[in-house]
Amino acid sequence: MSAVRVRFSPAPSGSLHVGGARTALFNWLFARHHGGVFLVRIEDTDTSRTREAWVTGILETLRWLGLDWDEDPVRQSRRGAAYREAVDHLLATGAAYEAFETPEELEEMHEARRRAGLPPGYDGRARDLTPAQREALRAEGRPVTIRFRTPDEGTSTFVDLVRGPVSVDWATVSDFVIVRADGTPLFFLANAVDDLAMGITHVIRGEDLLDSTHRVLAIRRALGADDEPRYAHLPLILRPDRAKLSKRHGAVAVEEYRDRGYLAAALVNYLALLGWSPPDGREVLDRDELVAAFELDRVNPSAAIFDETKLTWLNGEWMRRLSLDELVTQVRPFVEDRHPDAEPDLVRAGAALGQERSATLVELAEQMEFLFVTDDELEPDDEGCRRLAATERVAELLDAVIDHLERCEWTPDGVDLRPVVRALGLLPRKVMPALYAAVEGRPRGLPLFEAMLLLGRERTLARLRAARARVGDVGAQPLH
RNA sequence: GCCCCCAUCGUCUAGCGGCCCAGGACGCCGCCCUUUCAAGGCGGUAACGGGGAUUCGAAUUCCCCUGGGGGCACCA
């Protein structure tokens, strides 16, 4: 087999979503596994839907995911000359022809065919116009598009790497437009021309493009190509309600997951498991392990639902695997977003305590937030207030704790409150949440004694006294 | 409407004729550990869509049905 050359070819009509990212990843894994070349091609022939910001955004997101490409990205918008040359050839050989229908006429045609039980499409009325007829239509000022002439009979078949042989009767495929009235090329044409020019050996993409393969291959042959790339159509990724993932619904943009505190390693790992699995059944795999294990023949053909819960679990796995240095680097932006002046040492200490208790960077940042708010700002959340109010003998407890912390040694052993709680005849499991609420603002969080050491004696006491004032004397009264 | 693809626990999947009264993972439930919460350990819950056919034997092969998804554009 010749050296592998694959490409990821997004249309820049939005940011990179998880479906596109999975396609990019599989191409990248395939290339890296075989020591091949991974390319990016921006399919921006539809200028009305393209925005430059989307192009840079997509490339930036690919970089964030660690999917590096080997040559400068190809822009279809700059390859007009190549497409024109190809069209001239197709026109000259009769593989394509000019058509002159208005949008209204086409709409009518689609309707009529639908009524006749045919798929909407083109009836081929401009196929055999004479040069004179074409001139006349052009003189009327009608729009001119170029259509590819599909066979009237016979079957198109190609062997898909994940689905096996796929066939369709040409009779069901009508002549389709390859050049718009404004002269710009359409997907089928650009795709065929570019894959040929770029020497693409394997086309790995979503199943939504399965049907278009016959048409692209037909153009390619009409262009004189004597070989064809191997195709692998990946199963689609569906939303939990089984609908197709789209930008309209839910968090499907990769950048959104990044902003919500997910690690690139976790996203890559999770995406790799959607439609593929390694032979040994491992699930937590790093980039190198994925590259080593990846094979197209283990891609399964059925659609998969994107399960954010499992992604979150994997993210937790990867958070725990990070070194403390890496974790601090990753979480710092999330902390500084709300507390720009957060002390680096405290961030580091908080990250160390929270590393195995959080599944996302956002969660980790929230857990340590109590370290960066002033004692005045700290307000127990709703659940914290409830726990405070519902804890038996809470005033007595707080008094004892305050009393202890005022005089104890400020060391790990000194601030251990378990003896204090037990001396009151209370169970730590029952009453600790109230203390967490008082010091950290929520009834659960980073280990309390370590947290108090980080805050220091004065700040800890200030928070406990504020909580004591909040509960009043109610808790101090025996209930019976 | 027409064409194409797909079909194992709620979800991601293993399985490529006997090793499967179906294995792993997430989730969920229970127990243990425990300063809260997590993490961790142990145990449990839960699936081959239906019907034919082939075969000594079918989750695995074939056919039909059903269901799901995709495509049919001057989007990609």
What's the pLDDT tens digit per position in A276-324?
A: 999 999 999 999 999 999 999 999 999 999 999 999 999 999 999 999 9
Does residue A480 have a pLDDT over 50? Answer: no
- Percent of chain A scored above 70 by pLDDT? 97
What is the predicted pLDDT for the residue at A473? 58
Structural contact between residues A234 and A26, judged by C-beta atoms closer than 8 angstroms:
yes
What is the predicted pLDDT for the residue at A247? 55
Q: Which strands sit side by side in the sheet containing A202-206, from one edge to the other?
A: A164-169, A155-160, A230-234, A202-206
Does residue A248 have a pLDDT over 90? Answer: no
What is the predicted pLDDT for the residue at A474? 52
Nearest nucleotide relative to A243: CA against C1':
B69
Q: Tell me the average pLDDT across A210-224.
A: 97
What is the predicted pLDDT for the residue at A242? 80
The Å distance, CA of A278 to C1' of B42, is 27
- Work out if A69's Cβ lies within 7 angstroms of strand B: no
What is the predicted pLDDT for the residue at A478? 45
Per the model's pLDDT, the better-predicted residue between A119 and A332 turns out to be A332
Does residue A246 have a pLDDT over 80? Answer: no
What is the predicted pLDDT for the residue at A231? 97
What is the predicted pLDDT for the residue at A6? 98
Nearest in space to A251 (alpha carbons), one of A206, A306, A310: A306
- Work out if A372's Cβ lies within 7 angstroms of strand B: no
Q: Tell me the average pLDDT across A194-198.
A: 97
Strand B bases, protein C-beta under 7 A: 1-8, 10-15, 23-27, 34-40, 68-76
Interatomic CA distance for residues A175 and A110, integer angstroms: 13
Q: How far is CA A268 from the centre of its chain?
A: 9
A247 given a catalytic annotation: yes
The Å distance, CA of A339 to C1' of B32, is 40
- Work out if A447's Cβ lies within 7 angstroms of strand B: yes
pLDDT band at A476 (very low <50, low <70, confident <90, very high): very low
pLDDT digits (tens, 9 = 90+) for A97-131: 999 999 999 998 988 888 887 788 899 899 999 99
- Work out if A166's Cβ lies within 7 angstroms of strand B: yes
What is the predicted pLDDT for the residue at A267? 98
- Work out if A122's Cβ lies within 7 angstroms of strand B: yes
The residue from A244, A247, A310, A430 that is catalytic is A247
List Cα–Cα distances, A182 to A57, A75, A142, A454, in angstroms.
28, 19, 12, 67
DSSP secondary-structure letter at A206? E
Strand B-proximal residues of A, range 37-56, CB below 7 A, are 43, 45-46, 49
Q: Tell me the average pLDDT across A183-208.
A: 96
- Work out if A238's Cβ lies within 7 angstroms of strand B: yes
Per the model's pLDDT, the better-predicted residue between A123 and A461 turns out to be A461
pLDDT digits (tens, 9 = 90+) for A220-232: 999 999 999 999 9
What predicted TM-score, i.e. pTM, was given to this entire model? 0.94
Angle at A160 between CA A156 and CA A166, to 5 degrees: 35
Interatomic CA distance for residues A78 and A90, integer angstroms: 20
Per the prediction, chain A carries an average pLDDT of: 94
Does residue A207 have a pLDDT over 90? Answer: yes
